[in-house]
A and B are shown apart, each in its own frame.
Chain A
């Protein structure tokens, strides 16, 4: 007994030491294991996320190749050309009004789309969130149904609705509301309608998600405390579903500003958006560096807008807290 005790006491420092080493080794192993486990994800992010961006970033500082592609002459020309253009005769720099108007239009249309989607999507999401459980899934299914078909096909369908002898105009003429068809197709209005239609589900889904969590007793409490419907909406519902509103706005704004198909088909070539401008650089204009520069510029603008937006939201939340 006594011998056993002595041995045990004597061996304490060594076991402690080896114990510490063993722990360290185990920790190293677990760190290695963790990296091993995340490596497929990292590889995919690197390969399909960061690599293409890096290529674009490099291209934007090179010169266009003779027949599309690039040539390896470093220059800032592409970045300069995003908003400026050289006069054909005297090479002086001037503002590229075409580009400026396209970028402006893109921001305005994306913003209008976002607001329209919010105006339409908010009551829709509220309606779904207030249905009985079983019906909700049906309504969500119906909302997401358009996503099951191709955007191109849906946009062509939208053309059928909006064109001069389309469903809207022919019904309005049939009802004697108008005599001549309204000019909708190939206008900014058509693009706005098309974008709103295309991205509405992206607004409804996050709005629904936050409304579903809304405690409807709070609305009752609002009514009980003399708030009428509008006051309860502004003072209780909107502040509480704010995360959903923000998520929905971001999800609609970002794809809308880079839209390609909708402005191409419904804008009829004269109402270009940034997406079309970029596509042109990689296509007919054969100016890959400029296309890359505009792409990155668009990304930066969206990021700045988002950062400002999120900052505001956070500071507002802090103010409340």
Chain B
């Protein structure tokens, strides 16, 4: 019995392109469960396999190995036009020979819906994406943001069980992208459809998603809520890919479930969060986010020398090197009219807020 709350499930999916010498393993034994009504993001650098996974769910590619289930039913063998799943393509792929309304109605028409009903749903969709009165336009007469809305409306019109979005915002400028991020979230709330969103933009992933899967080299490294992924990255790649991070070598000396204690190079012993795997005491790498630390004139838990001070308006970035040479960044929020507390060449101690040290798997 499959859990009814599961929308999409990939079980041990492997996808190999090409053969022989040129063989590329785009996905390597990937398993993931995407829940119903969830905004799920596949995040990773280009070539990590996130688009391949999306195309496997859409049906444009077939897995070399493994299963793909939609609401508990195997769909890996079905062609795209028999899957209740729609895609918003990276460059929208709007039909240039049709009007906006014809584009939006295409899926419904293909499903055999009567003409008047198609027209009614198209009107609803135009209202939903705030494009009323633009139905008779040609797609080439639309701005990038409008094309994006049409692409969304076209994919949402047949009321798919899952909406797949392949980097839909990457072609938009920054301001429009911010607007569309909010718009997408609104559409997901209003329609209640499961969104699977592919992006390489960590900010997009963090702001919009209910859960994020971080991918690299054909594998899913970590799945979790944006906050979990950011605060408790389990692997070096995840920590590195999302946000700015300091990596510090340390010694794991105490393990108590998901909590433990580490000894930092300075000799200070501090509490740390552990990843969800079995670890044994010994050398580990810990992650400390730049905004989770403070600089103090006295010793702190780590000591370093300030190389560079960069003023950013809302905050100031202090680039340090620790006594053992490890580079370290501290990001302190600015107060009005406060002068920088430290200048280049100053010695400074670093204090870490509670729970801000995360031990990595590697």
Contact = CB atoms under 8 A, between A and B. Distances in A.
Interface of A: 215, 217-218, 220-228, 231, 235-236, 239-240, 320-321
Interface string B147-170: 000000011001000000000000
A235 B103 CA distance: 11
Given A220-B60, A231-B110, A225 B154 contact: yes
A220 B151 CA distance: 13
B97 A220 contact: no
B97 A217 contact: no
Given A226-B81, A227-B81, A221 B110 contact: no
A225 B86 contact: yes
Contact of B107 (A226, A228, A321): A226
Contacts of A225: 81, 86, 106-107, 110, 154-155, 158
Query: Binding site of A, secondary structure by majority: helix, strand, loop or mixed?
Result: helix
Interface string B117-160: 00000000000000000000010000000000000001100100
B89 A228 contact: no
Interface of B: 58-60, 79-82, 85-87, 89, 91, 93-98, 106-107, 110-111, 138, 154-155, 158
A218 to B, nearest CB: 5
Q: List 7 tightest A-B contacts by C-beta distance, closest first.
A: A225-B107, A226-B110, A221-B93, A223-B80, A217-B93, A227-B110, A239-B97
A218 B107 CA distance: 13
Q: Which of B86, B87, B94, B106 has the most CB of A within 10 A?
A: B106
A311 to B, nearest CB: 19
A107 B95 CA distance: 36
Given A225-B86, A225-B158, 12 more contacts: A217-B91, A217-B93, A221-B95, A223-B59, A224-B58, A224-B85, A225-B81, A226-B107, A228-B110, A231-B110, A236-B95, A321-B138
A223 B59 CA distance: 9
Contacts of A224: 58-60, 80-81, 85-87, 155
A215 B93 contact: yes
A122 to B, nearest CB: 18
A223 B81 contact: yes
Nearest to A317: B97
A227 B89 CA distance: 16
A215 B158 CA distance: 23
Contacts of A239: 97
B19 to A, nearest CB: 14
A224 B165 CA distance: 12
Contacts of A235: 106
Contacts of B138: 321
A218 B94 CA distance: 7
A224 B111 CA distance: 11
A240 B93 CA distance: 13
Nearest to A226: B110
A231 B89 CA distance: 20
A226 B91 CA distance: 20
B93 A226 contact: no
Contacts of A231: 110
B170 to A, nearest CB: 14
A294 to B, nearest CB: 41
Nearest to A235: B106
B81 to A, nearest CB: 5
Q: Which of A215, A220, A231 has the most CB of B within 10 A?
A: A220
A218 B93 contact: yes
Contacts of A217: 89, 91, 93
28 contacts: A215-B93, A217-B89, A218-B93, A220-B89, A220-B93, A221-B87, A221-B93, A221-B94, A221-B95, A222-B95, A222-B106, A223-B60, A224-B60, A224-B85, A224-B155, A225-B86, A226-B82, A226-B158, A227-B81, A227-B110, A228-B81, A228-B110, A235-B106, A240-B96, A240-B97, A320-B97, A320-B98, A321-B138
Nearest to B140: A321
A199 B59 CA distance: 39
A112 B58 CA distance: 41
A264 B85 CA distance: 59
B195 to A, nearest CB: 15
Contacts of B98: 320
Nearest to B60: A220
Contacts of A226: 81-82, 107, 110-111, 158
A253 B81 CA distance: 37
A129 B154 CA distance: 28
A167 to B, nearest CB: 38
A231 B97 CA distance: 15
Contacts of B91: 217
A93 to B, nearest CB: 51
Contacts of B154: 225
A183 to B, nearest CB: 45
Nearest to B87: A224
B29 to A, nearest CB: 26
Q: Which of A220, A221, A223, A236 has the most CB of B within 10 A?
A: A221
A239 to B, nearest CB: 5
Contacts of A236: 95
Nearest to A221: B93
Nearest to A218: B93
Q: Which of A220, A226, A240 has the most CB of B within 10 A?
A: A226
Contact of A220 (B80, B94, B107): B80
A15 B79 CA distance: 76
A116 to B, nearest CB: 27
Contacts of A223: 59-60, 79-81
Contacts of B79: 223, 228
Contacts of B107: 225-226
A259 B138 CA distance: 43
Contacts of A218: 93, 95-96
Contacts of B81: 223-228
A217 B89 CA distance: 8
A221 B92 CA distance: 9
